[in-house]
Structure 1
Amino acid sequence: MSSKFLLLALVFSCLFANAQSQVNIGGGQNLQALNGAPLTPEKVMELQGSYFFSDDFLPATLVDASGKEYKDKKIKFNLKSNIIYYTDWDGKLMQATSDIRKLIITETDKTTVFENFFPSIDGLDAGTYYKVLVTGSAKLLLSTQFSEAEYKEFNSAVTTKRVDKVYQLYGAANGGIKKLTKGEAELLDLLKDKSTELTAFIKQNSLKCRKQSDYETVFNYYNGLKK
């Protein structure tokens, strides 16, 4: 074997050994980028729960800021990111980028309406969609937030993230918005233009204004007064 061939073989051997020392995916080692920065593999995550209104695509009508309706869409709605996904005419998955102000989801037994563009409150901004429970001059709204907790089973390499929906009532009227948690006083403050009539109505019907059905009754009565 010629000396030139031996020299070339030695060079290639050294280069290969060096490459092995830099890119080693065994033994739990990190990969290294070309500039030497370590690239840590992403954590294996399993999700328990869902951020979506439904995990199925549901028929819906989308209404943008100009009032234009986009009907007969099949959508999935991410309640955490407020992103609406839909399937295009050719089945391609798309993300709604128009300024969608209202989302009307139609299921076999019910219709659910979401709206946004309300004043900011509690970290929720104009882009946050609320479920509309009562509509009219005053709107009773339901926000959906999430509690998240990560845990790992004993001797498991998989981290599980548990996601639970957390609901909160809000009222929107007269250009303002208020969290509804403490009963009659905050409700009357929001609907102060009819506070006298509402006070009498609440007393007459023995309403405590601490559960959703009580708020729905009061908001419907208020909207009737405003007609």
Structure 2
Amino acid sequence: MNYTTKNRWRFTAIMLTISVLLCLTNAGKAQQIVLQDIDGKPLLRNQFTDIDGSPFLFDDWLPSDISFRSGGNLKDFNVKYDVINDALVFLDQEGNLNNFKESVKSFKFTKGAKTYVFDAQYPAIDGHTGLSYYQILFAGKLQLIKKYNKVLLEPQNYNSANVAKKVQDIVNLYVYNPSDKSIVKLKQNESFLAEKLAIDAGKLKRYLKYNKVNIKKQDDLVKLFELYAK
């Protein structure tokens, strides 16, 4: 390689490095602008103290795609899903936890190899409202959706001020019909599934037996809906 070729390669490498640095700098500035434009509601500092367990679905800050009811969107914005309060939280520029002041319609993130999609569009049921977030497990002529709940159990030893409240996880599955906008809690038994999926009970029984499908398992339920509720 002659001197001129070496210089040409060196110049190309320098320009590529500068381009990468400019992209990173601009991405950082864009994130700062986004944070400055977002209006949040600071959470009380002691809200998540003195509890045994986590209020969040996942403790990691996960880049999420967020859609607001106003029509606005955010891409790859780090949030956590606070299940106790059924809300998204983010860190402001001072490192404080905030809720979004603007109402979030839906959000999506990836954890490991799995993508989680949440939406708030469903009728009120079991104390939940039209603003409650459900994970969409399957969406077809019927939707199989999942509601995460976390409740705080009071300590039994009332004489001790240092005993933390325990977080208890509660999960329920629901079936939503977009055509008539009805929702019902899923019962993991064959007669309920045969009725909701509009299939013959005997046919369902044979399918479950020969394909070794366990309707007590979420993944198997999703496969069942994929087959009969497209």
Length-normalised TM-score, structure 1: 0.66
Aligned to 1:54: 58
Which position in structure 2 is the counterpart of 1:146?
150
Partner of 1:205: 208
Q: Secondary structure at the match of 2:172?
A: strand
2:76 paired residue number:
72
Kept after mapping to 1: 8 A contact 2:65/2:76:
yes
What's the TM-score, normalizing by structure 2?
0.65
Find the structure with the greater CA-based Rg.
1
In the other structure, the counterpart of 2:172 is 168
* Contact 1:140–1:216, Cα closer than 8 Å, also in 2: yes
Structure 2 counterpart of 1:157, which letter?
A
In structure 2, distance between residues paired with 1:96 and 1:179: 29
- Separation of aligned partners in 1, 2:109 and 2:151: 24
Q: Is the alpha carbon distance of 1:213 and 1:106 closer, same or farther for their aligned partners in structure 2, counting shifts above 3 Å?
A: closer
Residue-by-residue CA offset, 1:74-112 (whole Å, 9 max, x unaligned): 112111212212245786754223332221022343321
- SS of match in other structure, 2:164: strand
Aligned partners of 2:138 and 2:144 also within 8 Å: yes
Shift of 1:211: 3.0
- Partner secondary structure for residue 146 of structure 2: strand
CA contact (8 A) 2:56 2:80 kept: yes
Contact 2:187 2:193 in 1 (8 A): no
Q: Is the 8 A contact 2:84 2:151 kept in 1?
A: no
Equivalent of 1:136, from 129, 140, 144?
A: 140
Whole-angstrom distance in 2 between the partners of 1:93 and 1:46? 17
- For residue 103 of structure 1, what is the aligned residue in structure 2? 107
AA in 2 matched with 1:217: K
Q: Quickly say closer, same or farther: Cα 1:136–1:48, change in 2 above 3 A.
A: same
1:182 to partner: Cα distance = 4.2
The offset of 1:67, in angstroms, is 5.6
Match of residue 180 from structure 1: 186
Opposite residue 176 of structure 1, the aligned amino acid is S
Q: CA RMSD in A?
A: 3.0
Partner of 2:195 in structure 1?
Answer: 189
Q: Tell me, yes or no, if the aligned pair for 1:59 and 1:107 is still in contact at 8 Å.
A: no
Determine whether 1:120 maps to 2:130: no
Q: Distance in 2 between matches of 1:90 and 1:160?
A: 28
Identical counterparts, % of pairs: 27
Q: Secondary structure at the match of 1:159?
A: coil
8 Å Cα contact 2:208/2:214 also seen in 1:
no
